[in-house]
Amino acid sequence: MRILLNEDQLQAGVERLATEIDRFYGDQRPVTVIAVMTGSVVLFADLIRRLSMPQRVGVIQASSYRGGTQSQELEVNETMMIDVKGRDVLLVDDIFDTGRTLDRLTGLIRERGAKTTKTAVLLHKHRQHEVSLRPDFVGFEIPDEFVVGYGLDYLDMYRNLPYLAVLEPSEIDATKSESER
């Protein structure tokens, strides 16, 4: 595994992200912060503790990676999402890859009557995106490589790593073989 961002770099990036979000919202304006599960769980926990504004928090589950390194059709489970009608919403996700997840979820939140919708991602991958939407707040720009750690996974492994790493092809194969046992 090749480390792309170490633990200190990630924490500094989350701090920068929180500072930018605080500047935008101010410390008096209540915000509904929604995590896109499961990949953003580590980022979400670190980020909301650094934000100074009053917050309501909730989650929505969305997945487009099921057993591989290529994005598939997006599945959304909104049963745990809190009411957003008339609220300022900040949607937090781990990575902006194809863009389809944030595009669909921001549309869903708008349909639910949010007053405003902004997006924050830890990682913005340099690649051709499939949608016109771009994240409002970005922690890091990264190359178009398959990354794990700090909440991101491959076959539900590696989320616990305190750093962000690129999985090499041999490690992808080994993890896949291990998961098939």
148-170, pLDDT tens digit by residue? 999 999 998 999 999 999 998 88
Given 93, 94, 97, 103, which residue is catalytic?
97
**Band of pLDDT at residue 45, cut at 50, 70 and 90:** very high
CATH topology for 8-144 is Rossmann fold (3.40.50)
101-143, pLDDT tens digit by residue? 999 999 999 999 999 999 999 999 998 888 989 999 999 999 9
Cis peptide before 38 (omega within 30 of 0): yes
Domain extent listing, the chain: 8-144
What local confidence, expressed as pLDDT, does residue 160 receive? 96
CA gap 42, 153 in Å, rounded:
12
> Tokens for 94?
């781990």
What local confidence, expressed as pLDDT, does residue 68 receive? 54
What local confidence, expressed as pLDDT, does residue 63 receive? 76
Whole-model pTM? 0.90
CA gap 114, 86 in Å, rounded:
5
SS (H, E, C) 62-112: EECCCCCCCCCCCEEECCCCCCCCCCEEEEEEEEECCCHHHHHHHHHHHHC
Q: Is 88 a catalytic residue?
A: no
Of 16, 78, 82, which Cα lies nearest the Cα of 51? 16
Largest Cα–Cα distance of the chain, in whole Å?
Answer: 52
Sheet containing strand 88-96, strands side by side: 75-77, 55-63, 31-37, 88-96, 116-125, 137-142
